A and B are shown apart, each in its own frame.
Chain A
């Protein structure tokens, strides 16, 4: 609508009065929307208005990072140009920017990665600089080169630094040269077991042995002593010869319980470089970070300095300018090894901003303009603690997160709480589509220490209202309250180790269960009482209920619990399992957030849905619980109700998530065996193979390659 307003306002002229009014009305709409997206910043460095900077900057990105960059540009007085695909015409970043231009249709290859179109926009709008954000073209040396040839500043490092760090092998060699710790190892032909042992001893145990030609973790063996090394050598060399016809072996230091810790660096074009402390990003799923924090609980000042100095050495070695991140793997004895360097602004940069007070985007723009850094290494503090949770539109119950899509029917960020920062690029009414990353926002909390930051995160997650799409708040909340996480005992294997059978939501303790049952029952009674209150005086008087006690039966998970509620004043006295709880609240049944006090414990819950039959879903401690609350009478009678036959799910295949069908490998009449691939669904850059749950004959195929499917859509039926 925004774009339309612009077009219409621009095209107007025939009916000046009406047009102008319409445009005005629409502009007003824009402004009101704009107000919705302001969020608290947690960095303090102010902009010096006398320092000359770019007049106009184009943001070659979308979503939260585009909004993040625009915020700093506004602060610095830089005009902004947003680019967008046609489905993003109503997106927040488009409304926030001073100008917005459509660069193509929804698929990223035709819009946000469409260099020709973007270069065209740059020329047309006369933007002097481009901030690439992260992802998309942020580490594309060709894009940086094309910008340079047009005399447009790329807000990032030089092309050669991008190139050097973009190549895994070259970056390792450079790192070695700059005396940065790299994972010690040997790659070549190993004569015999004795030589293997010698190499292993040189590297230091534990070591990992595998055939060089084998990709990934295939055929990998871990050896903790000489004996195991000999054995590993035997197997691996056999495998190398037989499977790959290549004798070379790779013996490398095995990093036990690795943590992913990265150092933020900031360098200018005058040879100055700083390290802005570390970020701990060990909580990952499928190599994607989920929870990040700064600083790390694990590093002592010496290790931090050593890592920081090596990171700066590497930056200097490649004449790095702008903000960048050097990633390390850290083992349990605080040995750290260089992994790679990211030559862009990282998703998780806000935690660094929180503890250092720097605005990294502002510094990037300054550096790009050619200004020297304003800080010395000694000026970089670690003040307080910051935690970031990546809030995704995905279902955490399916392999820690499969994408979900939908329209945000209700959306409210917990900005009413202290020390909360939310970086988002969406608002109430936005669509989460299959075309882009399903991240809803980055939720950052800050505290004077870690415990405070985590406590605030817990509250912020409970107070975050996201309706219309499935989200991962439950997983995030479980992670940050998990004893291992609270103690700082984490590694990149945290999620699979803690949830070996997959994430299943919060496990209620007996006390928590009673709290939930008491809250749900009180809510039910509050609702019943309200439905008897009518305003006005009807001709036939309304019979006032004298009822003060309710005998209910609440179905939760696999149990049915008798619950007795009695009202005294505004609070309810609820008896569950023979234990009495006192529940008080304002009982505002329209508010998306309900603050309830149960025996003195304050909880923020969200009632997501209810219906006439007492079915209620309540988000409690981050997890959504489905309950059914019935009167005792109704519950007793409900046992006479017929059981509805459940759908036989083994003979049908439904799409577990929204996405596009890439390939269908069966046709009607084919016989498939259990575990055989039936089709492939692609969603958010992930290909998911759908397999048959049983052996059988294909009855019908309801999709074809190229189709777009929704979650739960029927794909294939077996007989």
Chain B
């Protein structure tokens, strides 16, 4: 089994949307398989092209053509037809060989991928029994076995949205794709809310507000070409190791700019992405959910050619604190990496969990526990670098030594403590003593107390971070750790 990629859109109502394929009717059915194959191709591509083009979209086959290596596509079920007979659907002119989806397998950079591409030009790409059978998707059973990726390239509504929701990653195309349970008309009739498709379920909504989608791309071509690149980061299945690409970036490269990246004032923000870009191979980082819960950064990169998952607090946004959304975002990412043997590298600069009623009422305890659970459960190599603050419970959550971290490092600027000096002194002395703050800073605002207790394995020079991580990954490549037998764990959902 290899990774499954869906290139899809599917409207809510099966079979009723027959408005899209005008102009292609009247083609005679043919008997010979060869003739039929031709008819199937002919019906899909040439006739449909102008209509799709006008709307700024590619056809189902064009999408497959761009996604897969040239001449690598092997199609399945080209002859399957739908079995609906109501409303004259059983007439010949309403039968299309292959029905409204193109399925098959192919190669992306030589590596096997299974693909289906729903065809808007046939019944609006609606889901028939035959269509569903062709896809034969067992999203849930495949989950954790092969990476599954959905690319939403048109409107997708109703029950159909749950297929992408079950896959590991959902990407969207800006301005032309939508995802919602019910469209604006139903929303209006039920709740009297006025909302456009774009506001309700456009790419912006799902990548920035709801967190349903993981990335959005400019257009179909941008999306498909990015998908090819993204695919290269992923192993083909849970029984394959993380892929290792040929790499030109030396593993022992020193990164001098890291010496100055953390500002002297510990209240001043910096961009965690600066650190990530300068450490990873060739400054290439495929960020996941860049616009959602921006106080945590997650994504894929390579270290000495090997795919790694990167998790980092983002001091630039909300001081990099953990809240409900960032915990959930981080947890899902960590679990994906763990499921597919991708080592985890965590950069920590976290002042704590976000306090307040909104968070407590929202269940920060339950959601924060997801990230804690995910890191604790993960058996892939785990390397952690504390760049600055690592306070309290949030320190513990961020892949700490206590959660079976393999290599935990601190930069000289690290402060591993229960909380910041100011807050601590206020609580301990109730505002009575003021000079205690300096003492607290002196005692705890440095990496030594943690290093003395063995909570960090070493205090390292920031410029050597890349080198250390690459060496550790080499050593940890053979790491084999297993959790006790269980039907499945009970992550606090």
Q: Which residues of A contact B (CB under 8 A)?
A: 1, 3-4, 8, 11, 14-15, 18, 22, 25-26, 28-29, 32-33, 36, 89-90, 407-411, 427-430, 530-536, 538-540, 542-545, 547, 588-591, 611-614, 630, 633-634, 637-642, 644
A29-B463 contact, Cβ under 8 Å, with A22-B446, A535-B246, A540-B2: yes
Q: Which of B143-184 contact A (CB under 8 A)?
A: 175-176
Q: How many A-B residue pairs have CB under 8 A?
A: 163
The residues of A that contact B278 with a CB separation of less than 8 Å are 409
How far, in angstroms, from A591 to B250 measured CA to CA in the complex? 10
Query: Hey, which chain A residues are within 8 Å of B220, CB to CB?
Result: 637, 641
Contact A613 B459 (CB under 8 A): no
Q: Shortest beta-carbon distance, B349 to chain A, in Å?
A: 15
Complex CA–CA separation, A644 to B221 (angstroms): 14
Inter-chain contacts of B222 with A (CB < 8 A): 612-613
B244–A544 contact, CB under 8 A? Answer: no
Write out the residue numbers on chain A whose beta carbons fall within 8 Å of the beta carbon of B221. Answer: 613, 630, 634, 637-638, 641
Please determine whether A530 and B245 come into contact, CB atoms closer than 8 angstroms: yes
Closest CB in chain A relative to B406 CB, distance in Å: 21
A408 contacts B461, C-beta separation under 8 Å: no
Task: Bin the interface of chain B by size.
Answer: 35 or more
Query: In the bound complex, do residue B245 and residue A533 qualify as a contact, i.e. CB atoms below 8 Å apart?
Result: yes
Q: Mark B232-256, 1 if CB is under 8 A from A, else 0.
A: 1001110111011111111000101
Instruction: Knowing that A18-B448, A642-B55 touch, tell me 16 more A-B residue pairs with CB under 8 angstroms.
Output: A15-B448, A22-B446, A29-B463, A32-B259, A33-B259, A428-B256, A429-B261, A540-B111, A543-B111, A544-B110, A545-B110, A589-B248, A590-B248, A640-B52, A640-B58, A641-B56
Q: Could you give 30 example pairs across A and B, Cβ below 8 Å?
A: A3-B264, A11-B442, A14-B443, A22-B448, A29-B259, A29-B461, A33-B259, A89-B264, A530-B246, A531-B229, A532-B109, A532-B110, A534-B243, A536-B241, A538-B240, A539-B239, A540-B2, A540-B236, A542-B110, A543-B110, A590-B282, A591-B248, A613-B218, A633-B70, A640-B49, A640-B58, A641-B221, A642-B175, A642-B219, A644-B218
State the Cβ distance, B263 to closest chain A Cβ, in Å: 9
CB closest chain-A residue, reference B174:
A644
A1 to B225, Cβ gap below 8 A? no
Interface assignment of B434: CB less than 8 Å from any CB of chain A: no
Q: In the complex, A538 Cα to B246 Cα: how many Å?
A: 15
Given contacts A25-B459, A634-B221, contact A408 B257 (CB under 8 A): yes
Q: Are B65 and A633 in contact (CB under 8 A)?
A: yes
Are A612 and B225 CB-contacts (below 8 A) given A11-B442, A28-B461, A29-B412? Answer: yes
Which residues of B lie under 8 Å from residue A535 when comparing CB positions? 244-246, 305
Q: Contact between A531 and B256 (Cβ–Cβ < 8 Å)?
A: no
Whether A633 touches B225, Cβ cut-off 8 Å, given contacts A1-B264, A588-B248, is no
Select the residue from B53, B176, B235 with max chain A CB neighbours within 10 A: B53
Asked whether A531 lies within 8 Å of B109 as measured between CB atoms, the reply is: yes
Q: How far is the CA of A427 from the CA of B221 in the complex (A)?
A: 39
A542 — which chain B residues lie within 8 A by C-beta?
110-111
Q: A104 CA to B55 CA in the complex, in Å?
A: 60
Tell me, in angstroms, the Cα distance from A634 to B63 when the chains sit together: 10
Known: A15-B448, A427-B256, A535-B305. A32 touches B463 (CB 8 A): yes
Contacts A22-B446, A538-B236, A637-B66 given; does A33 touch B256 at CB 8 Å: yes
| 5 closest Cβ pairs, A-B complex | A429-B257, A642-B56, A640-B53, A590-B248, A590-B249
Q: Across the interface, which residues of B come within 8 angstroms of A14, CB to CB?
A: 442-443
Chain B interface residues toward A at CB < 8 A: 2, 49, 52-53, 55-58, 62, 65-66, 69-70, 72, 107, 109-112, 175-176, 218-222, 225-226, 228-229, 232, 235-237, 239-241, 243-250, 254, 256-262, 264, 274, 277-278, 281-282, 305, 412-413, 442-443, 446, 448, 452, 459, 461-463
Question: What chain A residues lie within 8 Å of B235 (beta carbons)?
Answer: 538
With A14-B442, A530-B245, A534-B245 as contacts: A26 and B452 at CB distance below 8 Å: no
Which of A532, A536, A588, A612 neighbours the largest number of chain B CB atoms within 10 Å of its CB? A612
Distance A90 CA – B261 CA, assembled complex (angstroms) = 10
- Establish whether residues A543 and B107, one from each chain, have CB atoms under 8 Å apart when the complex forms: yes
Cα A482 to Cα B361 in complex, Å, equals 69
- Which of B53, B412, B442 is close to A1, meaning CB atoms less than 8 Å apart? B412
Q: How far is the CB of B277 from chain A (nearest CB, A)?
A: 7
- Assuming the A-B contacts A14-B442, A540-B236, A542-B111, are A534 and B461 also in contact, with contact meaning beta carbons closer than 8 angstroms in the complex? no
- The interface residues of chain A lying within 8 Å CB-to-CB of B107 are 543
Contact status A1-B259, CB under 8 Å = yes
Contact present for A545 and B66 (CB under 8 Å): no
Residue contact B110 to A613, C-beta cutoff 8 Å = no
* Cα of A430 to Cα of B274 in the assembled complex, Å: 12
Distance A545 CA – B110 CA, assembled complex (angstroms): 7
- Asked if A590 and B219 make an inter-chain contact with CB atoms under 8 angstroms apart, the answer reads no
Interchain CB contact (< 8 A) of B412 among A22, A428, A532, A533: A22
Question: What's the Cα separation between A533 and B305 when bound, in Å?
Answer: 11
Distance between Cα atoms of A634 and B219 in the complex (Å): 12
Give A215 Cβ to nearest chain B Cβ, in Å. Answer: 45
- A539 contacts across to B, CB distance below 8 A: 236-237, 239-240
Residue of A nearest to B224 (CB): A634
Q: Which of A543, A588, A590, A630 contacts B72 (CB 8 A)?
A: A543
Alpha-carbon distance between A303 and B219 when the two chains are bound, in angstroms: 66
Q: How far is the CA of A545 from the CA of B69 in the complex (A)?
A: 9
* Contact partners of A612 in chain B: CB under 8 A: 222, 225-226, 228-229
Complex interface: chain A residues within 8 A of B65 (CB): 633
CB proximity of B46 to chain A, nearest CB, Å: 14
User: Considering only CB atoms, which chain A residue lies closest to B235 in the complex?
Assistant: A538
Q: Are A590 and B247 in contact (CB under 8 A)?
A: yes
The answer to whether residues A634 and B225 also contact, given A25-B412, A33-B256, A532-B110 and a CB cut-off of 8 A, is: yes
Q: A32-B463, A428-B256 are in contact. Are A547 and B70 (CB under 8 A)?
A: yes
When chains A and B are docked, how far (Å) is the Cα of A611 from the Cα of B282? 12
Given known pairs A25-B459, A409-B274, the reply for A641 and B257 (CB within 8 Å) is no
Considering the chains assembled together, what is the distance between the CA atoms of A492 and B249 in angstroms?
Answer: 45
CA distance A576 to B187 in the complex (A): 55
CA distance A536 to B278 in the complex (A): 26
Shortest CB distance B414–A (Å): 11
Complex partner residue of A25 from B58, B452, B461, CB under 8 angstroms: B461
Q: Is the CB of B69 within 8 A of A613?
A: no
Given A542-B110, A545-B110, A640-B52: A90 touches B225 (CB 8 Å cut-off): no
Nearest opposing residue in chain B for A535, CB measure: B244
User: What is the bound-complex CA distance between A531 and B229, given in angstroms?
Assistant: 8
- Could you say which residues of chain B place their CB within 8 Å of the CB of A532? 109-110
Q: How far is the CB of B441 from chain A (nearest CB, A)?
A: 10
A640 touches B111 (CB 8 A): no
Which has the most chain A C-beta neighbours within 10 Å: B57, B109, B461?
A: B109
- Residues of chain A within 8 A (CB-CB) of B249 are 590
Q: Let me know if A614 and B225 touch, CB within 8 A.
A: yes
Asked if B229 and A90 make an inter-chain contact with CB atoms under 8 angstroms apart, the answer reads: no
Enumerate chain A residues within 8 angstroms of B259, measured Cβ to Cβ. Answer: 1, 29, 32-33, 429
Query: Among A429, A535, A588, A614, which residue has the most Cβ atoms of chain B within 10 A?
Result: A429
Q: How far is the CA of A186 from the CA of B451 in the complex (A)?
A: 80
Chain B residues with Cβ below 8 Å from A411 are 257
CB-contact partner of B257 in A26, A428, A540, A637, under 8 A: A428
A274 to B198, CA, bound (A): 76
User: How many Å from the CB of B304 to the closest CB on chain A?
Assistant: 10
Beta-carbon nearest neighbor of A644 in chain B = B218
Considering the complex, give the chain A residue whose CB is closest to the CB of B70.
Answer: A547
Contact B413 A1 (CB under 8 A): yes
B204 to chain A, nearest CB (A): 14
Cα of A347 to Cα of B489 in the assembled complex, Å: 68
- Chain A residues within an 8 Å CB radius of B247: 590
Q: Give the CA-CA distance A29 to B249 in the complex, in Å.
A: 23
Shortest CB-to-CB span from A16 to chain B, Å, is 12
Give Cα distance in the complex from A398 to B278, angstroms: 30
Q: Give the chain A neighbours of B49 by CB distance below 8 A.
A: 640
When C-beta atoms are compared, the residue in chain B nearest to A544 turns out to be: B110
CB distance from A39 to the nearest CB of B (A): 15
